[in-house]
Structure 1
């Protein structure tokens, strides 16, 4: 297996494409934005003008789009992947969508001769670019065994979380409810420190060496104290969308998600006030309320 496709070549998809190319795969890709296509071509990718062209050139195709409707369009449409992939090929659904939407895609693909691997990812922009993503993969074992090498090219951890479409998305929804809570707690703690006059570096030193320290908290706090609120590869729209999925699953199953609901509102406020910002920009909304900002050092 040497020919792999990618649909959606943004912050996450570009990292997947880069690491596939670095591992010796011939990668054909498509994105609606010309700037992304130019960057993809510059890294050694083969540009295509539509999803069907990607499918015809590939044995497996990663789908890294934003929404379930977009995923359905590029997978199931007349110019989509299922209609044009060779028999035995695979759609690797690495986008985060609603579990119900993944099940609907799987049902529509039944009998097509094309495999669906439902495998949303975690690790964000750094994980995508470094090839160290965590994959929550759901498909029959034989399918996962067959396509494991190409998935290993972009990930450090592949967890087999189920066999049916939607299983991967369900695990991702649970994960994002936790990550959203970690983010929002970090934003509030940063604002509390700012108002109390604690330097950001002090807070980072303590948090990162305590039991609360983790990749999510440490990275968010680094971005906050260095005032990096845009262009870090973690646009607020993505986490806002993911929390919406988590909350929807909770409502569907009758599970109260009190902490995730609070995180949802913090991200909603951040996206409303700073629609072009990244996740950490939520802190700025709280800072504006309290009249204090957290910087790495306190000006003297």
Structure 2
């Protein structure tokens, strides 16, 4: 199994493609952005003009789009993946969508002879580019065993979280509710330190060596104190969308998500004020309210 496809070659998909190619796979890809397609072919990928073209050249296809509707649009219809993939091939749903949307996709694919691996990922831009993503994979063991080499090419941790469509997305929704809360707390702590006159480097040194330190907090604080609010590979739209999924699942199940709801509002404010920014730009909204900025060096 050496022919793999990918649809969606943005910040995350480009890293997946890069690592598949580095591991010896022939990769056929599709994205609506011409610049992304140029970068993809420059790294050794083969450009396609439709999902059907990707399907005909592949034994497994990663779907790394933004929404459930986008996933359905590339999977179904006359030019969709499901219609043109060979029997026994797999759709690897690595996009983060609503669990019910993944279940709907699974139901629509039933009887097609095409496997569905529901496996959203975590690790962000660095994980995608470094091939160290965490996968929350839901599919029968026999399917995951068969396609393990493809998954292992892009992931350092593959967790088998279930066997049915939607189970991977459910775990991801729980994870994003936590990550959203970690982000928003970091943004507020950064603004508090700025107003109090604490240097950014001091805050990073303390946070990163304390029990609160973790990849999410440390990376966010690094970006804040270096004032890197755009182009870091973590666009605010993605986390904002993920939090809406978490909140939707909480509403569906009747689970109160007080902290995730607060994080949702922080990200909503950041996205409204700075629509082109990355996650950490939410800090700027709070800084503007308090009239202080956190820099690595207070003199900068």
Q: 2:74 is paired with a residue of what secondary structure?
A: helix
Q: Secondary structure at the match of 2:27?
A: strand
Q: Which residue of 2 aligns with 1:179?
A: 179
2:103 and 2:77 map into 1 onto residues whose CA distance is 16
1:253 aligns with 253
SS of equivalent to 2:4: strand
CA contact (8 A) 1:7 1:64 kept: yes
Partners in 1 of 2:208 and 2:132 — Cα distance? Answer: 21
1:278 aligns with 2:293: no
C-alpha distance in 2, partners of 1:99/1:208? Answer: 34
The answer for the alignment partner of 1:54 in structure 2 is: 54
Q: Which residue of 1 aligns with 2:269?
A: 269
The corresponding residue for 1:192 is 192
In the alignment, structure 2 segments of 5+ residues that lack a partner are: none
Aligned equivalents of 2:223 and 2:33: distance in 1? Answer: 27
Deviations 1:198-250 (CA, angstroms, capped at 9, x unpaired): 00000000000000000000000000000000000000000000000000000
Offset at residue 299 of structure 1 (A): 1.1
Q: 1:15, 1:230 → 2: CA distance?
A: 18
Matched, 1:10 2:38: no
Following superposition, the deviation at residue 78 of structure 1 comes to 1.8
> Could you tell me whether the CA contact under 8 Å between 1:76 and 1:105 is conserved in 2?
no
The SS at the match of 2:198 is coil
Moved over 3 A (4+): none
Cα separation, 2, equivalents of 1:153 and 1:202: 38
Partner SS for 1:92: strand
Q: Give 1:76 deviation, angstroms.
A: 1.6
Matches of 1:80 and 1:34, distance apart in 2: 20
Partner of 1:223: 223
Q: Is the 8 A contact 1:51 1:74 kept in 2?
A: yes
Taking the aligned partners of 2:29 and 2:77, their CA distance within structure 1 comes to 17
| Count of residue pairs the alignment pairs up | 300
User: Equivalent residue for 1:143?
Assistant: 143
Deviation per residue, 1:254-292 (Å, 9 max, x gap) = 000000000000000000000000000000000000000
- In the other structure, the counterpart of 1:161 is 161
SS at match of 2:263: helix
Measure, in 1, the Cα distance between the counterparts of 2:85 and 2:298: 57
Asked if 1:71 is matched to 2:68, the reply is no
Corresponding residue number in structure 2 for 1:96: 96
Q: Distance in 2 between matches of 1:285 and 1:76?
A: 41
Whole-angstrom distance in 2 between the partners of 1:123 and 1:75:
25
Measured against aligned partners, the alpha-carbon deviations of 1:143-166 in whole angstroms (never above 9, x if no partner) come to 000000100000000000000000
What's the TM-score, normalizing by structure 1?
1.00
- 1:105 aligned residue: 105
Deviates more, 1:1-10 or 1:75-84: 75-84
**1:77 to partner: Cα distance:** 2.4
Specify the SS of the correspondent of 2:82.
Answer: coil
SS across alignment from 2:113? coil
SS in 2 for 1:233: coil
* SS of residue in 1 equivalent to 2:164: coil
User: Partner of 2:288 in structure 1?
Assistant: 288
Separation in structure 1 between the aligned mates of residue 27 and residue 299 of structure 2, nearest angstrom: 49
Report the aligned-residue RMSD.
0.6
Q: Secondary structure at the match of 2:159?
A: strand
